[in-house]
Amino acid sequence: MTTTDSELVTTSLLKKNFPKSILETHCHRGDETVVIDRKDLLSICEFLRDDEGCSYEMLVDLTAVDLLEQNRTPRFEMVYHFKSLRHGKRIRVKVRLDEQDCSIDSIYHLWKAVDWYERECFDMYGIHFNNHPDLRRILMYDQFEGHPLRKDYPMDRQQPIEELREIEERYHYQRDV
Amino acid sequence: MELKVKQVKRVDGVKEAFYIPAAFGGLRLTVKHFFRNLFGSRDVVTINYPEEKRPVSMRWRGRHRLTRKDDGFLKCVACYMCETVCPAKCIHIEAGEHPDLSIEKYPVRFDIDELRCVFCGLCVEACPKEAIRMDTGVVAMAYSSRKTFDFTRDLLRDNYDPNQHESPKYGDEDLPRPESQESALPNSQGIPAS
Amino acid sequence: MDLILEILSIPLVQSILKIAFIILLFAMPLGTVLTLMERKWSAMIQDRVGPNRANVGNYTGNGLLHLAADGLKSIFKEDTIPQGANGFLYLIAPFFGLIAGVATFAIIPIAGPIGDFTFQVTDIEPGLLFIFAITSLSVYGAVLAGTSSNSKFALLGGTRASAQMISYEVFMGLALMGIFMVYGSTRVSDIVNGQNEYWFGNLIPMWGVFTQPLGFFLFFTALIAETKRAPFDAPEGESEIVAGYFLEYSGMRWSAFMLAEYVAVAGVAVLMTTLFFGGYHVPWLHLWESAPQWLVTLLQIGKFSIVTIFFCWLQIQLRWTLPKFRFDQTMSLGWKKLLPLSLANTALTAVVVLAFM
Amino acid sequence: MSLATQQLSSLVTPPPQGDSDTSIMKIEIGPSHPAMHGIVRFTTYLDGELIVGMEPEIGYLHRGFEKESENSKWIQVVPYTDRLNYVSPLLNNIGYSMAVEKLYGIEAPRRAEFTRVIMGEISRITDHLTCVGAASMEVGAFTFFLWFIKAREYLWELVEEVTGARLTTNWTRFGGNATDIPDGFFDALQERLDKVKDIMDECDKLLTRNKIFIDRVKDVGTFSKEDAISFGFTGPMLRACGVPYDVRRADPYSVYDEIDFEIPIGSTGDCFDRYLVRMEEIRQSISIIEQAADMMPAGPIMTDERLMHYPDKKEVYGNIEGLIDHFKLVMEGHQPPEGEVYLPTEGGNGEIGFYLVSDGSGDPVRVRMRPACFNYVEAMPAMTVGHYVADIVPIFGSVNMIGGELDR
């Protein structure tokens, strides 16, 4: 599955239009990937959506990767997967985020699906999305401390809501806490 | 293959504009089912469970059992393969040395917490000695106490049912006996010397 | 012995006995058995087995013991009152429906009279108007239960129930106008006797279903809507507002709602039998003039029961066949389709009656 | 609380004491509610019976699939994928295993791929049967639900014959499948499919042409093409809006490009279209299964790459290399080369994508599953606002939310 650079239409388009902000590109196993600078995320996403040659109408997935155990800096990678229905292409856009300053511009106004994906990413990784209108936890409860998918969150740590637990123990199992 | 698209048909006929025809059509069908089940052959897939049991497939992954060699020794060599591969971490093995020198290593403890088990069958695949199997055909395990679900090595027999044996036998009396005196070395059943 | 006969000939005693007979031996058992039959019959429609687990020893009676089990269970269950509920209204609400359902049976004759003795609690002059009056009473059951439970789902259910039942009473009345005109009376015995006449010699009995086919459909629809059963069970709305107006009830009071529903089902069935299927009259029986009186009465009770059970079955069959209406669709069906149809039916009947009778 | 619902909640009046003019009523639908067939909560704002605002809350079934997977070996994730979309577990198994195969850069043998197509389509049928059945049950057609469950029962028995379990299948491995198709499977398959077809025909007569049912689902939950794409809809939900996007055709995987099938699309994107699209997809899946059964090649069901699967027992007993391979594979686990892949597959209710990152060791760095119904639940306010409260039922039924997949 070797793909030459000339076939990677989107990559070359992005390289032409944003020569400075494309940090790295590769095509591992046929997945077209560009790593971009954090500052230009908004303009690149807008370009990807609106440009005739790209027209990625659909945001398929948005997530992050924690590379703590790989001892990489920057620690986090934001991963966006886009799908173009018109051209039948996919692209992966990655942004590297430092641990100290893990915030990134929100792209919620470009695709409607972004809203919840960014909330989930915030919930799981603690990545802050600037300008997101409603950034709060989605899968975990509000009192939850920490961000469970970070690699330094211990696997076996438990955080039951104490009040509920007390009620359950006392009234359900007749045990004192 | 090229992309073929089919537009689904929304039925909008004259018949669909009234309530009555559909009601009669529906009644005809349900009445057919009603009388077929009332008088004719009952086309029912329900099983009256405790009385009837569904025949399970040969490949059904049920409760585990530990297999034995012809002479009644456990096949298990306590290699920890199943414990390593288990995604639910429900197997716990302690290996021990055996006085019988022909057996190098054997499980002093082999516990399976059946409440944790997810019945994936990875342990069966991982076992190099075919010592653990899930082919007992036991579909449901319903016991009244959590303790009952901790299956120890000697309980992992083919036909063990805690509901029927009030006090499970921890001895070796119902295991196949060794043929000759020579092979009947002390504690040769894989039972730890107490 | 004479004393007993004398006491029995007192009208009041007769009425009390008849009430006891009809309620204890007809209405309530029918309603109770229907709660089980609904489950058994629906199981047959749906290729299931149905309830068959309740047992004494090893005897299950193919599910029959579930009746006893259900009754015992609901008696011994805690009768909860939700916090903030209006206690008094909450407690009495379940019995409105039950009373209304049972009262329907008061004017239904289940067999022909023998001499002075009628198989009917009372044969009052207003007849069916009494039914309308009584069924409007059952609205209060739903409304009071809904509003007094202090639950939003119950409130939604109660409002839906009140709107639906009050609307459908209109069409119920209008659909029966034709019957009143054709048989010239609102008295039930007149209507039943009117249906014992024949067209074309002795060929077709003048049953309501033949004289008023449209009225039959309209009345049946309106009655099903009035009893809040599928496809008109939006007030219960089990999938969106959980159980509607009786959501908060438990134990015996919940059972009262259930029993009221099934008594109402039986009530619908006896009304349909009486008004549209000749009541207790066995068709063409008058041709056999030498029939002994006791046999005739038995045949009449038998015919009445069979048609009643058929209509109970039909209602249950309909429930498990049709999807249910949304609440606004129920209302628009009533006001936009049934109302014009029943008005047209009334007008048409009036013209025909004037022209030919 | 989002902006729209913040404004709405300020309008909610306290519970009525006597005759107060309550304008907006807040009502919590779920997490335990007959129509919420997972556990999810909708905070709904009603004006009378009209929905003026809604806010979904998810996470009640969050089991930490991703965290658990990242702390497991690669092979140990396969049993977990059963529990994602638990009405079509095989499709998740297949999606995950193919993603790992892509990470390795290998392909399963053709027989394994055809078997996967057959089993996957059986799973798709069970998924759609459950969805359509549950949706029709909630609009009152309880009988069809049970007939459909009966049809599903026939198919699950087949799944059990092949995989050894009805629901927790754990069937695929990297580079093939755990078990091959047993003898006499195709006869049983054909017989069962005929029964399913019969039940489908009965239902078609009854439900598709029933005015009451049409009234309930027609023009309810209408969604435009543009909105659907922007919300990231996939699968039957997107196709009902009229977009012929099916991963099996758009990004062909496995052997789907050798099989002839049609993609059903709707026109308006309402609940009726979604119902019809699912019904048609069941028929197409039956046709796919029949074609794949005819084309089934002979051969192995497992790749012969080393260190991908356990060696034969003969090798383990008689050969030191076999034994070492076996122990290495168990102790160290599969070790895909360093890299990252995203593999989309067509799941029961949309695109299931597995995004996997490996650093070359036996432990996954990232196992991400793109949940198809995440977007649908996100779009629930957009679909329901302006409808009656009773319309939540058919809309949410047509969404086919599966809690295990939504919350992971």
For B103-155, the pLDDT digits (tens) are: 777 787 788 888 888 888 888 888 887 788 887 777 777 777 777 777 777 66
Question: What residue numbers bound the domain in which B37 lies?
Answer: 13-45
Chain D interface, Cβ < 8 Å to A: 1-3, 58-59, 62, 64, 66-67, 70-71, 102-103, 105, 227, 229-232, 234, 243, 245, 250-251, 339-342, 344, 351, 353, 355, 357, 359, 365-366, 368, 370, 374-375, 378-379, 382, 407-408
Query: B69 and B40, same structural domain?
Result: no
Query: Which residues from D are below 8 Å from C328, CB to CB?
Result: 49, 388
Query: D13 and D101, same structural domain?
Result: no
Query: B108 and B30, same structural domain?
Result: no
Nearest to C49 among B31, B34, B44 (CB): B44
Residue A130 tokens, joined: 């600037």
The CATH number assigned to the domain holding B151 equals 3.30.70.3270
Nearest chain C residue to D134, by CA = C239
8 A C-beta contact, residue C124 and residue C312: no
Query: B99 and B146, same structural domain?
Result: yes
Closest CA relative to residue D288, chosen from D263, D307, D313, D323 = D263
**Domain stops at, among D41, D57, D73:** D57
Separation of alpha carbons D140 and D397, rounded Å: 12
Separation of alpha carbons D367 and C163, rounded Å: 54
Residue with tokens 């006597």: D18
Q: Is residue B74 part of a domain?
A: yes
Q: Check D58 against A133: CB less than 8 A apart.
A: no
Q: What residues contact D225, with CB distance under 8 A and at least 6 apart?
A: D241, D242, D243, D269
Query: D40 and D180, same structural domain?
Result: no
Q: Check D147 against C242: CB less than 8 A apart.
A: no
**Domain stops at, among D57, D75, D101:** D57
pLDDT at D52 > cutoff 70:
yes
Query: B69 and B41, same structural domain?
Result: no
Nearest to B120 among D79, D257, D313 (CB): D79
Query: D9 and D70, same structural domain?
Result: no
What pLDDT, in 10s, does the model give residues D294-343?
888 888 888 887 778 787 777 777 788 888 888 888 888 888 888 889 99
Q: Is residue B93 part of a domain?
A: yes
Residue with tokens 């003898």: D183
Query: B82 and B31, same structural domain?
Result: no
Q: Name the residue with higher pLDDT: D30 or D187.
A: D187
8 A C-beta contact, residue D91 and residue A172: no
Q: Check A113 against D232: CB less than 8 A apart.
A: yes
At B150, the amino acid letter reads D
DSSP 8-state code for residue A60:
E
Nearest to A112 among D102, D230, D351 (CB): D230
Q: Is the dihedral of CA C103, C108, C110, C116 positive or negative?
A: positive
pLDDT at C125 > cutoff 70:
yes
Query: Which residues from B are below 8 Å from C48, CB to CB?
Result: 44, 46
Q: Is residue D125 part of a domain?
A: yes
Highest-confidence range of B139-143, C115-119, C172-176, D4-8, by mean pLDDT? C172-176
Centre a 10 Å sphere on the Cβ of residue B107 and count the other Cβ atoms it contains.
Answer: 22
Query: B142 and B71, same structural domain?
Result: yes
Could you tell me the CA-to-CA distances from A159 to A154, D58, D62 in Å, in that order? 11, 18, 14
Q: Looking at residues C204-208, what average pLDDT do you find?
A: 79
Residue A55 tokens, joined: 């027209």
| Strand-strand pairing, D172-173 and D50-57 | unpaired
Query: D109 and D234, same structural domain?
Result: yes
Q: Looking at residues C148-155, what average pLDDT do you find?
A: 85
Separation of alpha carbons D34 and B187, rounded Å: 59
Q: Is the dihedral of CA C352, C354, C194, C29 positive or negative?
A: positive
Residue-by-residue pLDDT tens, chain A, 177 positions = 444 545 677 888 888 888 888 888 888 888 888 888 888 888 888 888 888 878 888 888 899 998 888 888 888 888 999 988 888 888 889 898 888 888 888 888 888 888 889 888 898 888 888 888 888 888 888 888 888 888 888 888 888 777 777 777 777 676 665
For residue A53, the model assigns a pLDDT of: 79
Neighbours of chain A (3+ CB pairs under 8 A): D
Query: D241 and D348, same structural domain?
Result: yes
Query: Which residues from A are below 8 Å from D66, CB to CB?
Result: 124, 149
Separation of alpha carbons D30 and D61, rounded Å: 13
Smallest Cα distance from B180 to chain C, Å = 51
Query: B77 and B27, same structural domain?
Result: no
Could you tell me the CA-to-CA distances from C307 to C221, C223, C277, C310, C313 in Å, in that order? 18, 17, 8, 5, 10
Question: What residue numbers bound the domain in which D185 lies?
Answer: 65-305+333-407
Nearest to D262 among B4, B9, B16 (CB): B4
Residue C25 tokens, joined: 């031996």
DSSP 8-state code for residue C321:
T
Q: Is residue D314 part of a domain?
A: no
Nearest to D340 among A28, A61, A124 (CB): A28
Q: What residues contact D51, with CB distance under 8 A and at least 6 apart?
A: D44, D45, D384, D385, D386, D387, D388, D389, D391, D392
Q: Which of A125-129, C116-120, D270-274 has the lowest mean pLDDT?
A: C116-120
Exposure b/e, C213-243, CB count within 10 A at least 16 = b: eebbbbbbbbbbbbbbbbbbbbbbbbbbbbb
Nearest chain B residue to D324, by CA = B128
Centre a 10 Å sphere on the Cβ of residue B15 and count the other Cβ atoms it contains.
Answer: 13
Query: Which residues from B are below 8 Å from C333, CB to CB?
Result: 19
**Domain stops at, among D37, D57, D77:** D57
pLDDT at B189 > cutoff 70:
no
Q: What residues contact D247, with CB distance under 8 A and at least 6 apart?
A: D234, D253, D344, D345, D346, D351
Suggest the residue from D72, D73, D76, D129 to mutate for an interface test with chain B (most B CBs closer than 10 A): D76
Mean pLDDT of chain C: 83
A5-136 CATH choice from 3.30.460.80, 3.40.50.300, 3.40.50.880, 3.20.20.70: 3.30.460.80
Nearest chain C residue to D49, by CA = C156
Nearest chain D residue to A113, by CA = D231
Query: D20 and D103, same structural domain?
Result: no
8 A C-beta contact, residue C158 and residue C249: no
Closest CA relative to residue D304, chosen from D87, D171, D109, D20 = D109
Model confidence band, residue B162 (pLDDT cutoffs 50, 70, 90): low
Is C201 part of the contact surface with chain D (CB cutoff 8 Å)?
no
Closest CA relative to residue D105, chosen from D351, D336, D392, D353 = D336
Centre a 10 Å sphere on the Cβ of residue C62 and count the other Cβ atoms it contains.
Answer: 12
Q: Looking at residues C64-85, what average pLDDT do you find?
A: 85
Would you tell me which residues 41-70 of chain B have a C-beta closer than 8 angstroms to some C-beta of chain C? 42-46, 48
pLDDT at B178 > cutoff 80:
no
Model confidence band, residue D10 (pLDDT cutoffs 50, 70, 90): low
Nearest chain D residue to C46, by CA = D143
Residue with tokens 């279209």: D273
Could you tell me the CA-to-CA distances from D392 to D9, D24, D219, D388 in Å, in that order? 20, 18, 13, 7
Query: B99 and B27, same structural domain?
Result: no
8 A C-beta contact, residue C282 and residue C303: yes
Neighbours of chain D (3+ CB pairs under 8 A): A, B, C
Nearest chain C residue to B41, by CA = C47
Helix extents (H) in chain C:
2-9, 11-22, 28-45, 65-76, 87-103, 128-148, 152-183, 188-194, 208-211, 213-226, 251-276, 293-319, 327-332, 339-356
Suggest the residue from D72, D231, D369 to mutate for an interface test with chain A (most A CBs closer than 10 A): D231
pLDDT at C267 > cutoff 70:
yes
Query: D152 and D22, same structural domain?
Result: no
Suggest the residue from D24, D45, D389, D398 to mutate for an interface test with chain C (most C CBs closer than 10 A): D389
**pTM of the predicted model as reported, rounded to 2 decimal places:** 0.86
Query: D366 and D241, same structural domain?
Result: yes
For residue D17, the model assigns a pLDDT of: 47
Query: D138 and D42, same structural domain?
Result: no
Model confidence band, residue C141 (pLDDT cutoffs 50, 70, 90): confident
Separation of alpha carbons D395 and B76, rounded Å: 55
For residue D4, the model assigns a pLDDT of: 57
Suggest the residue from C37, C45, C53 to mutate for an interface test with chain B (most B CBs closer than 10 A): C45
As a residue count, chain C comes to 357
At D377, the amino acid letter reads V
The CATH number assigned to the domain holding D155 equals 1.10.645.10
Closest CA relative to residue C97, chosen from C233, C294, C262 = C262
Q: Domain total for chain B?
A: 2
Exposure b/e, A67-103, CB count within 10 A at least 16 = b: beeeeeeebbbbbbbbbbbeeebbbbbbbbbeeeebe
For residue B166, the model assigns a pLDDT of: 46
Percentage above 70 pLDDT, chain B: 75
Residue C149 tokens, joined: 């439970």
Q: Check C46 against B27: CB less than 8 A apart.
A: no
Separation of alpha carbons A144 and A125, rounded Å: 13
Q: What residues contact C61, with CB distance under 8 A and at least 6 apart?
A: none
10 Å CB burial of residue C118 (0-12, 13-18, 19+) is middle
Query: D196 and D51, same structural domain?
Result: no
Q: Name the residue with higher pLDDT: B65 or D20.
A: B65
What pLDDT, in 10s, does the model give residues D124-181?
999 999 888 888 888 888 888 888 888 888 888 888 888 888 888 888 888 888 888 8
